[in-house]
Amino acid sequence: MEKTLQELLTTVLGTGGVATILAWLARNWFLLQLERFKREQNQQLEAIKAELALATRLRSVAEEKRAQVAGKGLVAILRYLRALEATADVVMWAAPSDAPDDHKATVEHTMRWQLLEPVEEEFRRGWIGVETFLPDSCTEIMEAVWKERNEIRANQMTWLAVSGQAGVNPSFFERGFGSVPRKAIEELRARSKTIFRPIAQLKSLDKDDALTAASAAEQGVAPDDRPRTAARG
C-alpha cells in the first residue's frame, strides 16, 4: 500500500515533489514530538515546583510553631525562676503580720508556695509544649529548673522541721534560702537564654514580640509576677 501510494505520488508530482512532501512530514513529526517532550518536561517541572513549595511551606510552618513554643517556653521559665528567687528570699514577705511568732516561719513557707502555684502552672503548661515540639536540650532545661525547685523546697522543709533542734546543720538553710539558690537560678536563667533564644528568633514575623515578652518577663516578674500576699492590716 505504502509502495503504491509512493508510486502514485511519484507519477503525479515527480520524484522531487515526493521528497519535499516526505521531508515536510518528517519535519512536522519531529516538531510534534519536540513539542510533546517540552510539554511533558514543563509538567514535570511544575510538579517539582509545587512539591518544593509545599515542602518549603511545611518547613516554614514547623519552624514558626517551634519558634512560638520556644518563645512561650522561655517566658514561662524566666517568670518561674524569678518567682523561685522570691520563694527563696531570706526576708519574710508572705506571712500576715498577725501570724503567731512561733508559727510564723511555717506560715511564711506555706503561703510562699501557695502564691507560687499560678506561675508554676504556667511553667508546667510551657513544659508540655517544649517536650512536644522542641529538641531534648530544651526539655533538659525544663527538667533542670524543676530539679532546682525541688532542691529549694526540700531543703526549706527540712530546715523548718529541724530548726528548733540543737546542733542543726545550717546547710539546709543555705540550700533553701539566700545566695546559694539564687546563684543556681542565675545559672539556669543564662542556660535557658542560650538554648531557647536561637529557636525563638527563627520566627519570621513575630520574633520581636517573643523577645520583648521574654525581656519583660525577665525584668518584670517582681513586683508584677512575684507571688503576692493579701494586703496586710
Any residues with CB less than 8 A from the CB of 34 and at least 6 apart, and which? none
Q: In this structure, are residues 222 and 93 in contact, taking their beta carbons and an 8 Å threshold?
A: no
Nearest CA-CA partner of 202 in 83, 76, 60? 60
Give the Cα separation of 115 and 204 in Å (integer): 36
- The pTM of this model reads 0.67
What confidence tier does 207 reach under pLDDT thresholds 50, 70, 90?
A: very low
179 neighbors 40 (Cβ within 8 angstroms) = no
CA distances for 225 relative to 25, 29, 81, 209, 222, angstroms: 85, 79, 11, 19, 5
Assess contact for 68 and 204: CB atoms under 8 A: no
pLDDT of residue 223: 37
pLDDT computed for residue 22 by the predictor: 63
- Mean pLDDT, residues 152-157: 94
What single-letter DSSP state applies at residue 221?
A: I
Best CA proximity match to 204, nearest among 7, 63, 107: 63
Tens digits of residue pLDDT in 90-110: 988 888 888 887 788 889 989
Q: What is the pLDDT of residue 230?
A: 40
As a whole number, mean pLDDT of residues 13-33 equals 66
Residue 174 CA to chain centroid, in angstroms? 34
Biggest distance spanned by C-alpha atoms of the chain = 131
User: Domain residue spans in the chain?
Assistant: 50-225
Tens digits of per-residue pLDDT, 171-186? Answer: 888 999 999 999 999 9
pLDDT, one tens digit per residue, over 40-96 is 777 766 665 666 555 556 456 668 888 999 999 999 999 999 999 999 999 888 888
Asked which of 14-28, 100-114, 151-165, 199-213 is least confident by mean pLDDT, the reply is: 199-213
d(CA 47, CA 27): 30
**What is the predicted pLDDT for the residue at 40?**
73
